[in-house]
Amino acid sequence: MSNWFPKWRPYEGSIDARPVGTNEYLPPAQTVVLGIQHAFAMFGATVLAPFLMGFDPNLAILMSGICTILFFFMTGGRVPSYLGSSFAFIGVVIAATGYAGAAGGLNANIGVAAGGIIACGILYALIGFLVMATGTRWIEKLMPPVVTGAVVMIIGLNLAPVTVKAVAGNPFNMWMALVTVLCMGMIAVFTKGLLQRLLLLIGLLISYLIYFVVTNVMGWGTPINFAPIQQAAWFGVPDFHAPVFDVNAMLIIAPIAFILVAENLGHIKAVGAMTGENLDPHIGKAFVADGVATTLAGGVGAPGMTTYGENIGVMAVTRVYSTIIFVVAGVFAIFLGLSPKFGAIIHTIPTAILTGASIVVFGLITIAGAKIWIENKVDFSKNKNLMVAAVTIILGTGDFALQLGSFNLGGIGTATFAALFLNWFFSLRDPS
Q: Which helix (H) or strand (E) holds 10?
A: strand 9-10
Residues 178-201: tens digit of each pLDDT? 999 999 889 888 887 657 666 777
Show me where the domains of the chain are located.
Answer: 27-135+169-363
> What global pTM score does this model have?
0.75
Three-class SS string for the chain? CCCCCCCCEECCCCCCCCCECCCEECCHHHHHHHHHHHHHHHHHHHHHHHHHHCCCHHHHHHHHHHHHHHHHHHCCCCCCCCEEECHHHHHHHHHHHCCCCHHHCCCCCHHHHHHHHHHHHHHHHHHHHHHHHHCCHHHHHHCCHHHHHHHHHHHHHHHHHHHHHCCCCCHHHHHHHHHHHHHHHHHHHHCCHHHHHCHHHHHHHHHHHHHHHHHHHCCCCCCCCCHHHHHCCCCCCCCCCCCCCCHHHHHHHCCHHHHHHHHHHHHHHHHHHHHCCCCHHHHHHHHHHHHHHHHHHHHCCCCCEEECHHHHHHHHHHCECCCHHHHHHHHHHHHHHCCHHHHHHHCCCCHHHHHHHHHHHHHHHHHHHHHHHHHCCCCCCCHHHHHHHHHHHHHHHCCCCCEECCEECHHHHHHHHHHHHHHHHHHHHCCC
Task: Tell me the average pLDDT across 123-128.
Answer: 94
- The pLDDT assigned to 385 comes to 95
Residues 347-369: tens digit of each pLDDT? 788 878 878 877 887 787 788 78
- The pLDDT assigned to 62 comes to 92
Which of 165-169, 212-216, 394-398 is predicted least confidently? 165-169
User: HSE of 51 in the Cβ direction (CA atoms, 13 Å)?
Assistant: 26
* pLDDT tier for residue 66 given thresholds of 50, 70 and 90: very high
Residues 288-315: tens digit of each pLDDT? 999 999 999 999 989 989 887 667 767 7
* pLDDT tier for residue 384 given thresholds of 50, 70 and 90: very high
Asked whether the predicted pLDDT for residue 432 surpasses 70, the reply is no
% of the chain residues with pLDDT over 70 = 92
Which of 139-143, 157-161, 192-196 is predicted least confidently? 192-196
Which of 130-134, 156-160, 288-292 is predicted least confidently? 156-160
- Mean of per-residue pLDDT scores for the chain: 83
User: HSE of 409 in the Cβ direction (CA atoms, 13 Å)?
Assistant: 19
Asked whether the predicted pLDDT for residue 388 surpasses 90, the reply is yes
Task: Tell me the average pLDDT across 169-186.
Answer: 90
Residues 237-265: tens digit of each pLDDT? 888 898 888 888 888 888 888 878 877 87
Asked whether the predicted pLDDT for residue 1 surpasses 50, the reply is no
Q: Kindly list the distances between the CA atom of residue 324 and the CA atoms of 27, 40, 65, 230, 350, in Å, as whole numbers in the listed order.
A: 11, 16, 13, 36, 36
Task: Tell me the average pLDDT across 89-110.
Answer: 76
Residues 309-344: tens digit of each pLDDT? 667 767 766 677 888 889 999 998 898 888 888 777
What residues contact 230, with CB distance under 8 A and at least 6 apart?
A: none
* pLDDT tier for residue 422 given thresholds of 50, 70 and 90: very high
* pLDDT tier for residue 77 given thresholds of 50, 70 and 90: confident
Residues 266-289: tens digit of each pLDDT? 777 777 777 777 878 888 899 999
